[in-house]
Amino acid sequence: MDAKRFKDAYERLQYLDDNLTHKVRRHGRTRLHAPSIEEVDEALKTLGDYTTELKDVMRELFLAIGSRAKAEEGPRQV
Quickly count helices (H) and strands (E) in the chain.
3, 0
The three state secondary structure string of 28-43 is: CCCCCCCCCHHHHHHH
Q: What is the pLDDT of residues 8-55, one digit of tens each?
A: 999 999 998 888 887 777 665 666 778 789 988 988 998 899 999 999
CA atoms within 13 A on the CB side of 77: 1
User: How many other CB atoms sit within 10 Å of the CB of residue 74?
Assistant: 6
Q: Considering the entire predicted model, what is its pTM?
A: 0.69
Quick one: pLDDT at residue 28? 58
CA distance 21 to 47: 9
